[in-house]
Structure 1
Amino acid sequence: MKMILRGMAALVALLMMVTSGFSAEKVVNLYIWSEYIPDEVLADFTRETGIKVNISTYDSNEAMYAKVKLVGKGYDLVVPSSDFVGLMRREGLLLPVETKKIPNFKLIDPRFANQSFDPNNRHSVPYMWGSTALAVNTALLSKDMVQKATDLWKPELKGKLLLPNDLREVMGIGLKVLGYSINETNPEHLRLAFEKLQALMPQVRVFDSDSPKQALLSGEVAVGLIYNGEAYVANSENEAIKYIYPPEGFSLWLDSFCIPKGAAHVEEAHAFIDYVLRPEVSATISEAMGYSSPNTKAVALLPEAMKKNNIVNPAPEMVAKGEFLDSLDEKTLKIYEQYWVKLKTK
């Protein structure tokens, strides 16, 4: 009799999973940037839903893209930046996102929805946005040493510079100092940016997109082209580290949740996205990570000091000087990649 009851209980549990839409194994495999979501958020989600979150991390869009394209399965959610959302969408590497299963999608600021890289958000849901600009340790450098992007080429900065391990961001700074778009496609302009960047390489001590704040905080480098969240944390620990928006312009980025084509736990992925978009959860993430939230109600929940901090929430007139990274066609992207390899192997 006990065996029959146990069998019936197992059947009922299985039926409940099927009717709820969840797979028999309640899990979501998340592939995300390093240091990009608090452990407490993952733990709270599991406690509430019973869905376990397995997390793997990467330090560049290129690494994530290559692995998803090569392996094809094993991940239920990835978090590419805007340019790679467009690339992966065009290449058929992403499943459609059903926003009707994500009630909190309505909280996304219209500024970050329906972007050119993913019209109508058919394949992506915004997670975080921010800028990539200059973090300067003013305790190691005079105040006037670095005021703009072109200052990075000063001979005094030899061996004192950190750049992100990101071809678009590095090529972007070369393009911006020459007055071109960060989404430039003209081969001649790309060549000129590459040549300009060749002269910058002696300045570079390290390429790091994983945790660049550490090199700044330790004094290993004096200036870095880094993400605003990293700069926010570094500035919180050392007020001498200042964040400067270069007058030549700078990149803005939007990272989004996407469901790769080989995902095995699609319903769980939708449930996780909706949970993260709860205002209180999005606010917790933004406060912990130091990045800007595209969630309108989450921003309202942030501490006043953070709302007014121009590293996290720059004024609209400052944002207007930035340029969002957009996806590139395959031919242009190959040119970027060729120059990137040459820059890093010199």
Structure 2
Amino acid sequence: MKKHTRQSLAALAMTLAAFGAQAEDKELNLYVWSEYIPEDVIEAFTKETGIEVNLTTYESNEAMYAKLKLTNGAGYDIVLPSTYYISMMQKDGLLQKLDKQKLGNMKNLDPALLDKSYDKGNQYSVPYFWGSTSIGVNAEEIDPKTITSWKDLFKPEFKGRLLLTDDVREVFQIGLALNGHSANTTDEAQIKQAYETLKPLIANTQVFNSDAPRLPYLSGDVDIGMIWNGEVYMANNEGGNLAYIYPKEGAIFWVDSFAVPSHAEHPDAAHRFINYMMRPEVAKACVEYVGYATPNLPGKALLPDELKNSPVIFPDAATVAKGEFQTDVGDAIGLYESYWTKLKTGQ
């Protein structure tokens, strides 16, 4: 009798605990890139689930990473790191393993974008968008046909008209590519050579921007420089006339993935949201909003032909093969950051 009572009480406690967890998970804290998830998509999720979404944005992987390091993976339920940041954050204990049983819509994702070196088996991440960083040109001021190489950004006539993303690895990839080196080198001599190559480029640079780089183009502050493909899509939808050029040395490619911080307060809500975002119709809406490439194959199939066949959004295999995806460079990131500081301060 006593044993039965203890078992009943234990079962009741488990039921109440589960109920309490469900009650707590009526809130979700997102920490993501700005202008990356459509408001109506978030509103539809809240209407369907009753989960209120609190949205906080960041303008660089570095800023997100520093904040999560400071809180030891607490404060947010979903983050959107790029490519190699997944492996960095996992090694630092900032991410928790995903429960794949709650992510049935992963079946919609392109296998070519899964099981990457930065997260074998996708234990910690689910790709949301993939895209590129390449050359943006204000076609009203510069003939796009005259731009074919990263080297063109160094032309003296572009002094004070140039934008670079505020991203150490992306900018250094230009210098490395121009010297025939991998974007993922850990060789200090090669990194230093890239630094020396990039020094004249800084003299041309008007602004560093990794928040919304299309805006300086639209305002007329810059006419050429680095930009993400989705920002070109958005700029042209907002009245701009930007051309997107894949340089002959190859573009910079990346994947942004959903991940759950190690001390997320609402992991169940996080999994529900990630699974929701992998619905084909939701993936379609997100591409139409920001113009980045979705890994969601049935979602891509729903897109109108002008988006589905756009080389800006979905580059062909040859263009992708010529470029390079970034990977974790381990302790060598310190070398990059040291030379980056020297580069930006004119040393």
Q: TM-score normalised to the size of structure 2? A: 0.92
Query: Any idea what SS the aligned residue of 2:183 has?
Result: coil
Offset of residue 345 of structure 1: 2.0
Aligned to 2:143: 142
State how far apart, in whole Å, the 1-side matches of 2:100 and 2:20 are. Answer: 17
Give the drift of 1:237: 3.7
CA drift of 1:23 comes to 4.6
Instruction: State the identity as a percent.
Output: 45
1:325 aligns with 2:326: yes
Counterpart residue type for residue 327 of structure 1: D
1:315 partner amino acid: D
Q: 2:173 aligned with 1:177, yes or no?
A: no
2:232 touches 2:244 (CA, 8 Å); kept in 1? yes
Q: State whether structure 2 residue 139 is matched by structure 1 residue 105.
A: no
Equivalent-residue separation in structure 1 for 2:229 and 2:145 (angstroms): 21
Residue number in structure 1 paired with 2:40: 40
SS in 1 for 2:24: coil
Contact 2:25 2:269 in 1 (8 A): no
Mark the CA change 1:186 to 1:44 in structure 2 (over 3 Å): closer, same or farther. Answer: same
**Structure 1 residues 102, 337: CA separation in 2 closer, same or farther (over 3 Å shift)?**
same
Structure 2 CA distance, aligned partners of 1:184 and 1:32? Answer: 28
Contact 1:161 1:224 in 2 (8 A): yes
Q: What amino acid does structure 1 have at the position aligned with 2:149?
A: K
User: Does 2:20 match 1:24?
Assistant: no
TM-score by length of 1: 0.92
Number of aligned residues: 333
| CA RMSD between the two structures | 1.8
Do structure 1's residue 151 and structure 2's residue 163 form an aligned pair? no
Give the Cα–Cα distance (whole angstroms) in 2 for the partners of residues 134 and 17 of structure 1. Answer: 53
* Alpha-carbon distance between aligned partners in 2 of 1:312 and 1:301, rounded to the nearest angstrom: 15
| 3-state SS of 1:42 partner | helix
**Which residue of structure 2 aligns with residue 58 of structure 1?**
58
Matched-pair contact (CA < 8 Å) for 1:160–1:203:
yes
Kindly provide the CA deviation profile for residues 228-285 of structure 1, in whole angstroms up to 9, marking residues without a partner as x: 1001112334463100000101111000011111111111100000000000001100
Cα distance in 2 for partners of 1:277, 1:122 equals 16
| CA deviation vs aligned residue, 1:36-70 (integer Å, no higher than 9, x gap) | 11111110000000011111000000000000000
CA-CA distance at 1:215 after TM superposition = 0.9
> What is the rounded CA distance, in whole Å, between the counterparts of 1:143 and 1:85 in structure 2?
35
Q: Aligned runs of 1:116-265 on 2, under 5 Å? A: 116-238=117-239, 240-265=241-266
Q: Where does the alignment leave 5 or more consecutive residues of structure 2 unmatched?
A: 1-11
Task: Go from structure 1 to structure 2 and tell me whether the alpha carbon gap of 1:289 and 1:17 turns closer, same or farther (over 3 Å shift).
Answer: farther
Equivalent-residue separation in structure 2 for 1:267 and 1:344 (angstroms)? 42
Work out the CA distance in 1 between the residues paired with 2:175 and 2:268: 42
1:340 Cα offset (Å): 1.4
2:345 matched residue in structure 1: 345
Structure 2 letter corresponding to 1:79: L
Change in CA separation of 1:25 and 1:101 when aligned onto 2, cut-off 3 Å: closer
Task: Decide whether aligned partners of structure 1 residues 78 and 143 sit closer, same or farther in structure 2, where only a CA change above 3 A counts.
Answer: closer
